[in-house]
Amino acid sequence: MTDKLFTPLRLGRHELQHRVVLAPLTRMRARPDGNVPTALNAEYYAQRTTPGGLLISEATPVSWQGHGHPNVPGIHTPAQVAGWRTVVDAVHARGGVFFMQLWHTGRVSHSSHQPGGTAPVGPSAIAAQGTTIDAQWKPVPYEVPRALRSDEMPALVESWRRAAANALEAGFDGVEIHGANGYLLEQFLQSRSNQRDDEWGGSIANRCRLHLAITDAIVAEVGAERVGIRLSPWGIANDSGEDEPLPLYTHLVRELALRRLAYLHLIEPRASGTGKADIHREGLPSAADQFRPLWPGVLIVAGGFDRELAIEAVRDGHADAVAFGRWFIANPDLPHRLRLGAPLNPYHRPSFYGGGAGGYTDYPALAPAAGGAG
């Protein structure tokens, strides 16, 4: 009997042939002049494509203001759109379904990444605790952000709508809104980073306003069946975290459910390091268990899954699909390996960010032409 993880799933306009998803993974390997995807990026994504498999791109800034790391590809210039088109074509040539994750780093950016060297922006002038990487790849403390003015919010929402349109122009099948991991949208969502007293702060409804405004703008542009969203209710990445997340995220998930999106993508609390470290937090409730009853559509989960946990999550109905990050980096044929129960290549964390082909496109597949996961 075939495990349900390796059976078809309807997602928006697409019939996936299995439920092993490439999670969005920042790799910092775009061309530095213009933050444009390259042929190397196309090779990387093509390697991880199976017929009818879902890939979610690395987090992709919606504007220059949204950038916060070196060599990250954007989706806000014609050159970037053209670069991504070559990547999408490579994925589609192998039969994959490709969504782009849209991103704005907000207060965890740095002035060296910002137009004119200005301060990064956030909901309030509250610096995150910790360090980031500047444009010269040097570790630097987070800076105090400039609080966005209320009259800037329509243009911010518009930048996300325009980025979604650009993604479809590049050929993507849909977009995922990055509403997680301590970046701009989650900064507005959580009370520790949002201390505004206007319509974008204060109450739970006001703090959810930006997520919903951006979702509505993108849905109006590309259609709900082409839109997913990622949340991390118990996440602590980038100095995020809500003391009592359940009321906040319950309100947000209920509102998002009314939009009938293609999927909801939840990060489990046991994975909170966003690639910087292996962080395991025990004793917290499962995000899937908490929010599955509120979400009538496709639910994707991510965070610390192995083969057995993924099979169990889908078999028991806690999720419809499982996204893998580190193991997909190290195993370009991961769906095939999981279906067979084959050994996995170990991942090499020092090569996650930046560099060239090493630690990016040189991980071996199980066989020269590994089959699909169905």
Q: What is the pLDDT of residues 106-138, one digit of tens each?
A: 999 999 999 999 999 999 999 999 999 999 999
> Between the CA of residue 181 and those of 192, 237, 289, 323, what are the distances in Å?
14, 5, 20, 16
Helix (H) or strand (E) holding 311: helix 307-315
Band the pLDDT of 282: cuts 50, 70, 90: low
Could you tell me the two tokens for 23? 């999670």
Residue 223, SS3? Answer: coil
Whether 142 sits among the annotated catalytic residues: the reply is no
Rounded Cα distance, 238 and 217, in Å: 26
For 21-79, the three-class secondary structure string (H helix, E strand, C coil) is EECCCCCCCCECCCCECCHHHHHHHHHCCCCCCEEECCCEECCHHHCCCCCCCCCCCHH
Answer whether 373's CB lies under 8 Å from 53's CB: yes
pLDDT at 257: 98
pLDDT at 372: 47
pLDDT at residue 276 is higher than 70: no
What ranges do the domains of the chain cover?
4-321
Rounded Cα distance, 297 and 312, in Å: 19
Catalytic residue among 183, 263, 360, 363: 183
Could you tell me the two tokens for 323? 């996204």
Topology of domain 4-321 in CATH is: TIM Barrel (3.20.20)
Q: Which residue has the higher pLDDT, 2 or 130?
A: 130
* Closest by Cα among 223, 235, 226 to 183: 235
Q: Cβ-count burial of 282 within 10 angstroms (0-12 exposed, 13-18 middle, 19+ buried)?
A: exposed
Residue 343 φ then ψ, to 5°? -60, 155
DSSP string, 120-165: PEESSS-PPSSEEE-TTS-EEEPPPPEEPPGGGHHHHHHHHHHHHH
| 74-90 per-position pLDDT tens digit | 999 999 999 999 999 99
| 309-352 per-position pLDDT tens digit | 999 999 999 999 999 999 999 999 999 999 999 999 999 999 99
Rounded Cα distance, 92 and 218, in Å: 23
Mean of the per-residue pLDDT values of the chain: 95
pLDDT at residue 206 is higher than 70: yes
pLDDT at 2: 75
pLDDT at residue 275 is higher than 60: no
* Closest by Cα among 371, 321, 337, 343 to 23: 321
Residue 263, SS3? Answer: strand
pLDDT at residue 277 is higher than 80: no
* Closest by Cα among 170, 67, 63, 75 to 111: 67
Residue 230, SS3? Answer: strand
Helix (H) or strand (E) holding 100: strand 97-103
CB atoms within 10 A of CB 243: 8
Buried b (16+ CB within 10 A) or exposed e, 283-307: eeebbbebbbebbebbbbbbbbbeb
Band the pLDDT of 272: cuts 50, 70, 90: very low
pLDDT at residue 295 is higher than 70: yes
* Residue where the block lists tokens 């507005």: 188
pLDDT at 284: 78
Rounded Cα distance, 112 and 116, in Å: 8
| 34-67 per-position pLDDT tens digit | 999 999 999 999 999 999 999 999 999 999 999 9
The neighbouring-strand residues paired with 321 are: 300
Rounded Cα distance, 200 and 210, in Å: 7
pTM for this prediction:
0.95
